[in-house]
Amino acid sequence: MPPVPSSVAKQAELLKQDGNTFFKKDRLGAAIDAYTEAITLCPNVPVYWTNRALCHRKRNDWDRVEADCRRALELDASSVKAHYMLGLALLQRQEYAEGIKALEKALDLGRGANPASYMVEEIWQELAKAKYSEWEHLSHARIERLDVLREACVKALGSQRMHGVSRVIGLSNEAEGDPEQLKHLSEVFRKAAEADIPSEVPDHLCCKITLDIFRDPVITPSGITYERAVLLGHLQKVGKFDPVTREPLNQHQLVPNLAIKEAVRAYLDEHGWAYKLN
């Protein structure tokens, strides 16, 4: 495609600015029209597509959100906003695996671009909710399958015991089985269901300041790990010292704690993120 004349590009930018103004005033229809005109003039500028997608998001028009974000990603595969909103759109259709994948991509890109950005925290919160929803959805399906299997096992035990014996009218299936066998069966299914019970996050995977699970852990020279954004806020607003040891501390001394980050990821994957954030 030939380069866009500078006058056309300038007009498209003015239309984008108009769209931004309309969006801030919650005039979504006018904002969409402005971004659409900008796209018509300069279809290869990804921010026009993501801006319009944001308008569609506020209208809960998720099909259009998805379409605009996919086009933006064709133009710029590193667009945090496009991956983020695409993930949200996919989750609306309960396409958990692909939606979570898009949110994880947005989170990784966002952390690299600006770790302290408010958007990183927002993406992380949405990712946590998505993981929980996925776990809850799969958990319900597993519980239903376990219930069906348990009933079949109880009936099988009852049939074995009553083989050749007339059934007593009104006797329940559980009463027909051998009490000791039923006790063992109940224990087996109780153990099988444990994975679907929400669990507490271990203390060593939580920030000492927020008491919440780590998103982006960093370690200080004193050996203490904190949540990056929270510690940066402390250094900027309170003072340049370690909140726990009170030793002098500067931002350049912080090192990503990859071991804790991987431990958090492993824990959440194993437990299905089976907890809800405050």
CATH code of the domain covering residue 211: 3.30.40.10
Q: Is 250 domain-assigned?
A: yes
Domain span at 254: 203-270
Q: Is 136 domain-assigned?
A: no
pLDDT digits (tens, 9 = 90+) for 128-140: 778 777 777 777 7
Buried b (16+ CB within 10 A) or exposed e, 214-253: bbbbbbbeeebbbbbbbbbebbeeeeeebbeeeeebeeee
Does one domain contain both 176 and 262? Answer: no
- pTM, entire model: 0.62
Cβ-based neighbours of 239, under 8 Å, separated by 6 or more: none
Residue 68 is predicted with a pLDDT of 98
Q: What is the dihedral of CA 49, 51, 54, 55, to 10 degrees?
A: -100
Does one domain contain both 254 and 192? Answer: no
Quick one: which of 84, 164, 156 has its CA closest to 121? Answer: 84
Considering 115, 134, 163, which residue would you say is the last residue of a domain? 115
Does one domain contain both 244 and 171? Answer: no
Does one domain contain both 24 and 59? Answer: yes
Residue 140 is predicted with a pLDDT of 72
Spans in the chain with pLDDT lower than 50: 116, 162-176, 274-278
Give dist(CA 143, CA 150) in Å, integer. Answer: 10
Asked if 201 and 213 touch (Cβ cutoff 8 Å), the reply is yes
Give dist(CA 176, CA 192) in Å, integer. Answer: 23
Q: Is 264 domain-assigned?
A: yes
The Cα-based distances of 21 to 35, 55, 252 in angstroms read 11, 12, 38
Residue 262 is predicted with a pLDDT of 85
Q: Is 19 domain-assigned?
A: yes
Does one domain contain both 150 and 73? Answer: no
Give dist(CA 142, CA 135) in Å, integer. Answer: 10
Does one domain contain both 182 and 214? Answer: no
Residue 84 is predicted with a pLDDT of 96
Does one domain contain both 185 and 211? Answer: no
Does one domain contain both 173 and 213? Answer: no
Tokens of 23: 């969006």
Q: Given the DSSP bridges, would you call strands 255-256 and 225-227 parallel, antiparallel or unpaired?
A: unpaired
The Cα-based distances of 246 to 212, 224, 239, 249, 250 in angstroms read 22, 12, 10, 8, 12
Number of domains present in the structure of the chain: 3
Does one domain contain both 255 and 155? Answer: no
Residue 274 is predicted with a pLDDT of 47
Residue 276 is predicted with a pLDDT of 42
DSSP string, 194-249: GGGS--PPPGGGB-TTT-SB-SSEEE-TTS-EEEHHHHHHHHHHT-SB-TTT--B-
Main-chain dihedrals φ then ψ at residue 5, nearest 5 degrees = -55, 145
Residue 11 is predicted with a pLDDT of 96
Q: Is 237 domain-assigned?
A: yes
Residue 113 is predicted with a pLDDT of 59
Q: Is 276 domain-assigned?
A: no
Residue 175 is predicted with a pLDDT of 43
Give dist(CA 37, CA 56) in Å, integer. Answer: 16
Report which DSSP code applies to 4: P
